[in-house]
Structure 1
Amino acid sequence: MGSLKVREKKKFPVFTLFFLILLCAAGFMFYMAFKEQVPYWISDYKSKQVQEGYTDFADSADGTLPYDFTDRKTAAKDSDKKKTSEKKSQNIPQDWNGVDWNGLKKMNPDIIGWIRIPDLAVNYAVLKGTADNYYLYHHMDGSYNILGSIFAEKGTSEDLDDAHIILYGHNMASGQMFGQLSNYTDTGFWKKHSYMYIYTPEETRTYAIYDVYNCLDNDRTYTIGFTLGSKDFRKWVKYSIKKGYYSTEFKPTGDEQIITLSTCADSGVINNRFIANCMLVDTQVKEDYVAPTPTAKQEK
């Protein structure tokens, strides 16, 4: 009888095992990074679809100020026109101020306006839901997205005509939503982007950003319910000016509507906010609008 041979078990190479572990870890990290970026890509794609499908500011009444008020606005508008005129389709159904309000309302009836800062990523619909935090996590088309939308509190007037309105938006590292607002701590940046525009079905309003600062989420900045020109509102306006990081040529008195843009501060502190206060300086009403005479190029 022959001797029995014991077969040795082959040892799994330590290097191969280590390599597989690293490969799995890298795959998991890649998956998590990809998963985290997906909402950003979806939001950016959807936002561009809405912007290109429902707005065309190239040849619209976009709140142009009187020529002797400032040259900065004209420069910003011309730059914005140059960028958009080549991209927009002439077949976009638009109203008098470059927004297809009927189309937007059909897409989402919670849309009450549009906000734009030329040359910045701020170019979105303004939403108002039945709950204050609904559009913190919903896109302007109504779908769920962690980037949310630009939105007003549920008690805000549908016409956006309250004495003091607060518009909220996420501070995204990608620059989306209100992700570029913190750049206003630099006065040079402010000089190039000192105007903000609000569009409604009946009006196009021009606002000047008069001060910026950081504050807590329970600061007096968040006080609303004022009456335009009231003693309390004038006190609030003075308070907001004093908090500004630098002085600007714009000094509201309490007779002008104020819109506060609010986002999380770059510090990452949970209850710290970055604020940009904007005063109304010009209003263009639909019934007073006169369409520009088509140029020879447009007639073709």
Structure 2
Amino acid sequence: MRKFLRNLTNIILISILIFSGYKIYTKLSEYKKADKVYTEIREKSKKSNKDEELSSSNPDYRFWLKVDNTNIDYPVVQGADNDYYLTHDFNKDYLASGSIFMDYRNDFENDKSIIIYGHHMRNKTMFGELANFKDKSFFNENNKIEIEYKGKTYTYEVFSVYIADSSEEFLEMNFSNDNEYEDYLNKIIDKSLFKTNISVTSEDKIITLYTCSYEFNGARTIVNAKLTSIN
């Protein structure tokens, strides 16, 4: 009986090791695939006709996003819903890390509040390094976000970072009037982990970068920035 139990235990342990090894291999393979896909796209982005090149590869392409002093340097797409690009790359192939994508309801040129989503990957790719903004010194010193859209650079300054529960209704993009928008801005400023001297009013346009967080089940990290210049 003891020998049987010992053998059974060994089988269980070996099975666990094999399963764990498979999971690690699968995850590393996914990371490698994502790196290859987005490295190739970054090479395309260096061409003089970047917008034309990327739009021809994927009509869902909207603009390019970069965040200072992070590895966030990605094309942003927009699907027919907010589900598809959670699990599909820029080429519309299945990829667990998905894409960086703008809310399907947004109009970049006209909306005052733009929302952009991305996974927080364990290897710090996609929106993984948004977590850096939860460090006070990084928040204060590295606050520029750039969007390249139709040959122009839109520069934003971060004014808020906070952690929210995914079950909360806290993201808004459409407002009936300036007072409603002002209330929303004040709400996200009040939520921020840190305070800044950056003034944000109903005249400003903002972007929101949204990703998973790991403080508790369903946690999300939200970074807000206001448009300061277009060149």
Question: TM-score with structure 1 length normalisation?
Answer: 0.69
Which is richer in strand?
A: 2
Match of 2:126 among 177, 180, 191: 177
Paired residue for 1:141? Answer: 91
Paired residue for 2:100? Answer: 150
% identical aligned pairs: 26
SS of the equivalent of 1:214 reads: strand
Contact 2:65 2:72 in 1 (8 A): yes
Paired residue for 1:251? Answer: 199
Pairwise CA RMSD: 2.3
- Which range moved further: 186-195 or 126-135? 186-195
C-alpha separation between the residues in 1 aligned to 2:169 and 2:157?
Answer: 21
Q: Which has the larger radius of gyration?
A: 1
How far apart are residue 185 of structure 1 and its match? 1.4
Could you tell me which runs of 5 or more consecutive residues in structure 1 were left unpaired when the two chains were aligned: 1-12, 57-92, 285-300
User: Does the alignment pair 1:107 with 2:57?
Assistant: yes
User: Does the alignment pair 1:275 with 2:222?
Assistant: yes
How far apart are residue 169 of structure 1 and its match? 0.7
SS of the equivalent of 1:247 reads: coil
Measured against aligned partners, the alpha-carbon deviations of 1:148-199 in whole angstroms (never above 9, x if no partner) come to: 1111121111x44411111111111211111011121112112332100111
User: Does the alignment pair 1:54 with 2:3?
Assistant: no
Distance 1:25 1:274, change over 3 A: closer
Measured against aligned partners, the alpha-carbon deviations of 1:212-258 in whole angstroms (never above 9, x if no partner) come to: 0011235453012136x711111111111111111112121121101
Contact 1:166 1:259 in 2 (8 A): yes
> Aligned letter for 1:253?
T
Match of 1:129 among 79, 88, 92: 79
C-alpha separation between the residues in 2 aligned to 1:273 and 1:129?
Answer: 21
Question: TM-score with structure 2 length normalisation?
Answer: 0.88
- Which range moved further: 122-131 or 260-269? 260-269
C-alpha separation between the residues in 2 aligned to 1:29 and 1:266?
Answer: 21
Contact 2:30 2:95 in 1 (8 A): yes
Paired residue for 1:235? Answer: 183
Q: How does 1:70-109 map to 2 (within 5 A)?
A: 93-95=47-49, 100-109=50-59
SS of the equivalent of 1:180 reads: helix
C-alpha separation between the residues in 1 aligned to 2:97 and 2:165?
Answer: 21
User: Does the alignment pair 1:265 with 2:213?
Assistant: yes
Could you tell me which runs of 5 or more consecutive residues in structure 2 were left unpaired when the two chains were aligned: none
Contact 2:106 2:173 in 1 (8 A): no
Paired residue for 1:216? Answer: 165
Contact 1:114 1:125 in 2 (8 A): yes
C-alpha separation between the residues in 1 aligned to 2:116 and 2:45?
Answer: 20
Paired residue for 1:42? Answer: 33
Contact 1:211 1:241 in 2 (8 A): yes
User: Does the alignment pair 1:203 with 2:152?
Assistant: yes
> Aligned letter for 1:247?
K
Contact 1:208 1:281 in 2 (8 A): yes
How far apart are residue 25 of structure 1 and its match? 5.4
C-alpha separation between the residues in 1 aligned to 2:189 and 2:40?
Answer: 38
Paired residue for 1:226? Answer: 175
Measured against aligned partners, the alpha-carbon deviations of 1:67-120 in whole angstroms (never above 9, x if no partner) come to: xxxxxxxxxxxxxxxxxxxxxxxxxx224xxxx111101111101111101331
> Aligned letter for 1:243?
K
| Paired residues, number | 226
SS of the equivalent of 1:175 reads: coil
SS of the equivalent of 1:221 reads: coil
C-alpha separation between the residues in 1 aligned to 2:112 and 2:161?
Answer: 19
